[in-house]
Structure 1
Amino acid sequence: MPKQASIKIITNLIFGLFFMLLGWYGHTQEKKIYRVGMMVDSQTPETRVLFDRLTTEVQSVVGEDGIIEFPGEFVLVNGFSVAMAEKNYDKLINGNVDIILALGSASNIVIQDQTAYLKPTILFGSVNTDFTELDLVKKTSGIENFTYLMGVQSFKDDLKTFKQLTDFKYVGIAIEEGISESLPLNATFDIIIKELEATYRLIPYKTIDEIDANLQGLDALYMAGGFELQDDEIKILSDVLIEKRIPSFTSTGARDVQLGLMATNNSDDNTEQIIRRIALTIEAHVTGGLLSEQNVFIDFEQRLTTNFNTMQTLGVPIRYSLIERTDFVGDFQNQLSEKNYSILDIINDNLERNLTLQSQQKEIELSQQDVKTAVSNYYPNVSANATFTAIDESIVIPNLSPEFSTDGNISLSQTIFSEGANANISVQKNLKKAQEANFNASQLDAVLEASNLYFNALVSKVNVQIQSQNLQLTKENLRIAKQNYEAGQSGKSDMLRFQSQMAQNTQTMIEAINQLDQAFIAINQLLNNPINYELDIVDANIGEGVFEAYNYEQLADLLDNPLLKEPFVAFLIEEAKNNSPELESLGYNLKAIKRNFNLNSFGRLIPTVALQANYNKNFNQWGAGSIDPSPVGNYNAGLSVSIPILNQFRTNINRQTAKIQLDQIEINKQNTELAIESNVSTAVLNIINQISNIRLSEVSVTAAKEALELVQTSYSEGAVSIIQLIDAQNNFLQAQLAQANATYNFLLNSIQLERFMGYNFLLHTREENDAFKQRFNTFVQVNFNQEK
């Protein structure tokens, strides 16, 4: 055979073999289609979202191993009817589906009643331990074509927790009508409620109106159902219950508690786990695994979730013994608050009602009385006297001293001019003005004190929120540690470490709550409210509301510029000295002492001029030596002028004392001016620190949060140690606290600076504040631009 022909034959054989293998490979790679049918109790917008997440997750996990379809005609709704659930199950068994997924109470009843499973069946959702026949201790179902992935629900445990929270006596138990007809509810609840020493009313319902119509006389409501209710219906029901002051507990998830129901033992956290486990279970079935040998998933953990605002509105106390296993939702606003205070409310109420200020106001009134007393030295002094005289008859002098007589006298004294009186008037007026300046200083102190208490309460309030979030984070990390322990990825020590951490975080949370209560008590005391007066405070945001005057960005730019910082501080110091009530008080005291000094110097040589006058009249006389009295009396008047010559050297002593007091005032004035300069400069530096803290804390929180998420993910995969996770959590906690403190400290330091300046932006109009800024511009132009 020629060589070329041989090569051609070999080439054809190779290509033929190649295409034959390619065809065989393509045949082996043909994917099998698995059609999944579902039976659910209800379809709502929320369940449709979960359905979309489930289909996406299953298709993603199965991937190249098979084609997963969810035909719309085989997504069947039971409507909480067991009879309908049986029909739907038969339809799936006889329909063109390969796998059955069952969810819901009615589905649960029907699936558990089966003695054999003709098609692979996966039961998921919640199983009620009061009714289930499943063996929850098993690791696998051991039943051909059947497995389950369940969260545990217990009417008994729910009602016991509800009893702990409210100590109810007569509870309503609401459950879907279809379920109530299929389960022996009365027999079950009779035993449970009797153990709790209470009574109950079973409320089968189709709509929330039927629940509302059966609330009379109840002191609590337990939602044993409610999975089909939509968010707006839950919100309406919770509002009705709050209005009627009926505490509620639900067997549904935490989302319904966020919408206003009071509490639940069920968390939404395991939803993602169950969806993931369903996807993995279907993948195992597709790749040849037996459902009877797949690990079942039973979540026994119960987490109490309570709505902080609902509990407060209803007056249900937060039990510290339950905090460790309680997740809080809500915004930690005091729902019982009779008034929500802004910083201006606290400042104005403090200025109006503060008892210390009221007492100091009386000091001003007393000073005014001293002024009136000093001025009264120039008022006339008039006195009237009447005299009855009886003398011994043997010494009677006729026409001069009769035996009996009645006389009258009116005397007048009037200071016409007195340097001492003038000096006293001047001194008392200056002392009164000094007292008014002291009162102004006390008002400024009161503004600062009110601001301190306001921001202290804000910090305490934010601390409660952050500590609550941190406690929730610790609980989540504990859950991850338990999963890692069960999967063999970590030892039991990690789990114990987080249990210890959770106890510590719980104690910190309790202390934070009590600290907030103490902050509110301090505000009540300041405002002269009853100590138990219910109040809350409005949050403070830079550049918003009453704090619009604090232009954070403009101030930050100004202080960041060395060329502007120096004149800015110099201007503030000048403003502070001009406005300082302490310097004003010293100034008036200085005037008073100078006046006293002048009085005891040349003033002592100025004479005192006074007028004196008397009018005398004899009204009648009788007895021996008596005569008819004159119808007209007699008078005398005189003008006196006096100059002190020697008064035991007290004038010199008083002058020397006044000189010492003048020197003391000058020293105090210098010391006060230095204190103003120091306080203003320090306050500006503190503000610069807080501006830096605000900017850096934002970066720190973002970075700490991202780092925590990465470390938490790595820990769940066994890639990092528990120490790294705890460090990341603590770092995030500290970053959050630092961020909150930076914002509030900036505002508080700004108010402290205003105290030193004697000018509060919050208490002045926009026009007055604009005038303040204009004075700064003028100050810079006059004092610094000229120097350049």
Structure 2
Amino acid sequence: MNQTKRTSSLITLILWSCLFAVISSQAYSQSDTKKIGIGILIDGEEYRTSPFVEILKEEVTAVLGASYEVSFPDEYLISIDWDAEKGKVAYEKLIQAKEVDAIITLGVLSTLTVTEAKNFPKPTMAWGVVDPITQGIHMTPEGTTNISNFTFVQTSSNLKYDLNTFKEACNISNVAIVIDEYIFNVYQERKPIDPIIKEAGLKGKVIKGKDSVTEILAEIDTSFDAVYLSHLFKLKDEQIKVLNDSLVNRGLLVYSTDGKKGVENGALIGTITEDRYNIIARRFALNFESIFDGDANAKDLPVIINYESKIVLNASVSQKLDYLPKWETIFNADWVYDQSEKQTTVSLEHVIEEAIENNLSYQASTYGTLSGDEIRRLANSALMPSIEASVGATLIDQPTASRSFGTRAERQAFANAELQQIIYSERVFANAKVQRFLQDARVAGNEQVLYDVVYQTAIAYYNLLFARTQVNITKKYLESTKRNLEIAEMRENVGYSGSSDVYRWKSNLAKAEQQLIDANIFERQQMLVMNSILNREMKESIMVKDVDLTDGIYGGLATDGMAYLVEDPISLLIVSEYIVDKALIQRPVVQQYSAQLLALERQRKADSRNRFIPEVALSGGYNRVLARGGIGSESQSLNGVEIDPLDQNWNISVVARIPLFSGFEKQRTYQKARYDQLQTQSLLDQTKVDVEREVRSAVLDLASTSTNITNSREAMEAAQKNYEIVRDNYSKGRVSIIELIDAQNNAFESEQQASNAVYQFLEASMSIQRSVGNFSLLQTDEEREQINQEITELYQNQIRK
């Protein structure tokens, strides 16, 4: 028992000792935590509300907070109000302040004030160096300042980069560079921008950005073709918009350094970098960690920060200028105010309705059908009576009139009426019947053109969707390649690989950019096809709505009614037989040849009968003399009898006529009709064979594409997961670049195949409907449901057998 108490007391003593040690350690740690105060020098009050200041505080605190108590005293966040003299005083204040252990300058003027002082008793970091050489900061080959306690941030996006980007994208030659008035006054003496303009291969002039838009515009004459707008701190957004609009109205291309915001305010072009503030803030934080934790000197810290910038373009400004940059710029850039984004997306039903209304081929076919119907009516008109009336006058010589015994006057006016009516004519009767059959053939042909237009429209619609999907997939591939390039550069820095990987990814990046251009060009080509079908302007952009495979209107027979019925050979055969039977009845081209065959059969019978059946016709006439004059116009005496001239007469007759011999014309005509009939019958038989082959082939395509959707999606998911694993291993140096390239290409190709499988399925669906001669898109919901029910019942009945 005593032993137990001693053991318990010992354990209690140990626990109290551990607890005391922990508390003492924490107390010591807290008392030993070093405080770091950071002062910030900014050009103007505008910087105080910048999101970068808050991001900077968060990043530095996150990196150093575990070991240091970091503070950014408000009294040492000093604005120099764009005054260089105030800048010198403020910088001296930061140097003397005991609460400040390090200094950051944000802005061109603040940075210039510090660099001109050439006095860095405290670690100082700057963001705002325009040109290191002209500012007397000569970087070492290692990319450091070699100036004790001083370093700065030089981003890949700077004036030199911007001008080169502007020139390459828009092919400018003479640029007006507008910079803020304060910066202009500071740099006017040294003119550091002039060499940058010359190095870019441009002509240009630096213009002071005053607080008046009118004064700025007065400095920009017609010799310039472009304007580079730097940050104009004294101008509000409304003034910037007015300035941009005025420059664009002059036909000038405007580049804004305000990135997306500047482009949205009316500039044509700018560059954006995602997480730029975070990247720079993280560099400041890591520099502080190296200085305070690693005893590094700021002079040995890297200056350059490389990050990927992306061009952003204003679509409405581009349209206003009637100007587009180079292809690679168009396809790789982000667009604001893109008109295509504001366009109402059109559905498949909409474009088919538009095609039916506006397609020129269908219009021409419809007019031809209407013209053929007039031929049919013309043939029927021969069965109707023909009535003619005429009025005339004659003048004959006196001797003839005097010897006519009053039958012909010297001057005479008359009126005639004639009637013709076919009583029986095999030729006329047959022609009326033949033209009716031919019109049926024309109607069927016109319906076939309609179905062709519907099919072409649907395929063009799906091709446009496919092209747009390929653009999106290729963009993802491009971004993935950029990411892999960054990983390769990181691997090179840590020694996992050499520069060969970097060059390989740069080569792949160039290929990916070309693939994106090709994909965009293909999309535009498909848009041309769609516009030609819809009879739109070729340059018009069209936005099509994506399809949903669960919606029966896109598949009709192929989706709800058939897709699940072609999963095995037996059901495939059942469905094929049903569709073939439907196609041989409904297909317009079959109906067209059938109607032509009926016309030829009737014509052949007529030619046979014409050889021995006469034509019978009724004819009649009525003549009346309206007036007489001169010799022969009066009564004549013949053997003492007065004979008055006849004023009117009429006649009626029935005539039967049959040609006895016409050089074997009737026999030759009969034989020709017989051969024409045999030829058309052969064409009809061949058409039925072609239709059946087309239907069965379309059903097989549907069976293949319907299963391919699921398989290709599974392959895509597996390829993408594999790619993520391989890329992660590549970043850790576990696999080679060849394995990553193979995985990336496999993922890219599998995603393309998965998207292509959907559109192949939809095209197979439309092919079946075209081969049957009945599109679900032209049917009502009730008609579609009836067809689905028929197929389902047929399938169930066959299975029961």
Q: TM-score, normalising length from structure 2?
A: 0.77
Letter in 1 for 2:544: V
**Cα contact 1:284–1:290 (8 A) shared by 2:** yes
Deviations 1:146-205 (A, max 9, x none): 333431554355345435626486747253x66556554895567877984455643246
Q: What letter is aligned with 1:591?
A: L
- Aligned mate of 1:683, from 695, 698, 702: 698
Aligned residue for 2:793, secondary structure, equals helix
- The answer to whether the aligner puts 1:162 opposite 2:166 as a matched pair is yes
Alignment of 1:307-456 (within 5 A): 307=313, 309=315, 312-313=318-319, 314-320=321-327, 323=329, 327-330=332-335, 343-378=348-383, 379-380=385-386, 382=388, 412-456=419-463
Point out the more displaced range, 192-201 or 424-433.
Answer: 192-201
Which letter does structure 2 place at the counterpart of 1:78? S
Shift of 1:355: 3.2
Cα separation, 2, equivalents of 1:556 and 1:564: 9
What letter matches 1:774 in structure 2?
Answer: Q
Bigger drift between 715-724 and 398-407 goes to 398-407
| Distance verdict in 2 for CA 1:45–1:109, change over 3 Å | closer
Matched, 1:491 2:498: yes
Structure 2 equivalent of residue 775 of structure 1: 787
> Partner amino acid for 1:772?
R
The 3-state SS of whatever aligns with 1:225 is coil
C-alpha separation between the residues in 2 aligned to 1:238 and 1:565? Answer: 65
More displaced stretch, 456-465 vs 222-231 = 222-231
Task: For residue 479 of structure 1, report the CA deviation from its aligned partner.
Answer: 4.5
2:209 maps to 1:203: yes
Partner of 1:145: 149
The amino acid of 1:638's aligned partner reads S
Given the alignment of the two structures, is residue 728 of structure 1 paired with residue 755 of structure 2, yes or no?
Answer: no
The alpha-carbon deviation at position 526 of structure 1 amounts to: 3.8
Q: What residue in structure 2 maps to residue 67 of structure 1?
A: 68
Aligned residue in 2 for 1:222: 228
Change (3 A) 1:614 1:75: same
Partner of 1:435: helix, strand, or coil?
helix
User: Aligned partners of 1:40, 1:296: CA distance in 2, in Å?
Assistant: 21
With normalisation by structure 1, the TM-score equals 0.78
Q: Match of 1:431, as an amino acid?
A: L
CA distance in 2, matches of 1:101, 1:281: 12
Matches within 5 A, 1:298-309: 298-299=304-305, 303=309, 305-307=311-313, 309=315
Question: How far is 1:431 from its partner?
Answer: 0.5
Q: Is the 8 A contact 2:131 2:192 kept in 1?
A: no
Per-residue CA deviation, residues 291-322 of structure 1 (Å, 9 max, x unaligned), is 246331314788562327366434332225x7
Is the 1:127–1:152 Cα contact (8 Å) retained in structure 2?
Answer: no
- Partners in 2 of 1:152 and 1:80 — Cα distance? 28
Change (3 A) 1:371 1:509: same
Q: Measure, in 2, the Cα distance between the counterparts of 1:109 and 1:433.
A: 89
Match of residue 587 from structure 2: 580
The one-letter amino acid paired with 1:597 is R
Structure 2 CA distance for partners of 1:661 and 1:605, relative to 1, 3 Å: same
Change (3 A) 1:315 1:106: same
**Which residue in the other structure is 1:5 paired with?**
none
Supply the AA of the counterpart residue of 1:437.
A
CA distance in 2, matches of 1:222, 1:70: 38
2:653 aligns to what?
638
- C-alpha deviation, 1:737, in angstroms: 2.9
Deviation, 1:432, is: 1.3
- Indicate the residue corresponding to 2:600 in structure 1: 593
Equivalent residue number for residue 136 of structure 2: 133
| Partner SS state of residue 637, structure 1 | strand
Shifted more, 105-114 versus 161-170: the winner is 161-170
- SS state of the match for residue 536, structure 1? coil
Deviations 1:637-665 (A, max 9, x none): 32233567776666565555545444444
Question: Which residue of 2 is the match for residue 11 of structure 1?
Answer: none
Q: 1:110 & 1:719 partners in 2: Cα distance?
A: 49
After superposing the two structures, state which structure 1 stretch, 226-235 or 534-543, moved more: 226-235
How far apart, in 2, do the equivalents of 1:236 and 1:705 lie? 48
Q: For 1:133, what is the secondary structure of its paired residue?
A: coil
Q: Please tell me whether residue 51 in structure 1 is matched to residue 56 in structure 2.
A: yes
Identify the residue that residue 762 of structure 1 maps to in structure 2.
Answer: 777
Cα deviation code 1:24-65 (max 9, x no counterpart): 999997764342525264255742663366246514xx86xx
Aligned length: 758
Mapped contact 2:41–2:78 kept (Cα < 8 A): yes
2-structure distance, mates of 1:689, 1:85: 75
Change (3 A) 1:675 1:359: same
Specify the SS of the correspondent of 2:437. helix
Aligned partners of 1:571, 1:185: CA distance in 2, in Å? Answer: 89
Given candidates 608, 611, 624, the residue that maps to 2:615 is: 608
SS in 1 for 2:654: strand
Distance 2:706 2:215 in 1: 57
Unaligned runs of 5+ in 1: 1-13
Partner of residue 540, structure 1 = 546
Following superposition, the deviation at residue 428 of structure 1 comes to: 0.6
Equivalent residues of 2:441, 2:591 under 8 A apart: yes
User: For residues 751 and 233 of structure 1, what CA distance do their matches in structure 2 show?
Assistant: 55
Matched, 1:285 2:310: no
Q: Check conservation: 1:257, 1:263, Cα contact below 8 A.
A: yes
1:441 aligned partner, one-letter code: Q
Alpha-carbon distance in 1 for matches of 2:269, 2:404:
112
User: What's the CA shift for 1:757?
Assistant: 3.1
2-structure distance, mates of 1:82, 1:507:
49
For residues 345 and 156 of structure 1, what CA distance do their matches in structure 2 show? 50
- Alpha-carbon RMSD across the aligned residues, in angstroms, is 5.2
Distance 1:342 1:200, change over 3 A: farther
Alignment of 1:682-701 (within 5 A): 682-701=697-716
**Is contact 1:607–1:642 with CA below 8 Å preserved after alignment?**
yes
Answer yes or no: is 1:117 the counterpart of 2:120.
yes
CA separation of 1:548 and 1:154: change in aligned 2, threshold 3 A = same
Instruction: Work out whether residues 687 and 750 of structure 1, in 8 Å CA contact, stay in contact via their aligned partners in 2.
Output: yes
User: Identity over the aligned pairs, expressed in percent?
Assistant: 24
What is the letter of the counterpart of residue 290 of structure 2?
A: A
Does the 8 A contact of 1:145 with 1:290 survive in 2? no
Give the match for residue 105 of structure 1. Answer: 108
In the alignment, which residue of structure 2 is the partner of 1:3?
Answer: none
Provide the C-alpha distance between the structure 2 equivalents of 1:469 and 1:358, rounded to a whole number of angstroms.
42
Q: Which residue of 2 aligns with 1:749?
A: 764
Equivalent AA in structure 1 for residue 787 of structure 2: R
CA contact (8 A) 1:541 1:547 kept: no
Q: Secondary structure at the match of 1:347?
A: helix
Question: How far apart, CA to CA, are the structure 1 residues paired with 2:317 and 2:264?
Answer: 12
Q: Is the 8 A contact 2:372 2:439 kept in 1?
A: yes
Structure 2 counterpart of 1:505 = 512
Alpha-carbon offset, residue 88 of structure 1: 5.9
SS at match of 1:501: helix
Contact persistence 1:339–1:535 (CA under 8 A): no
Distance 1:349 1:281 in 2: 63
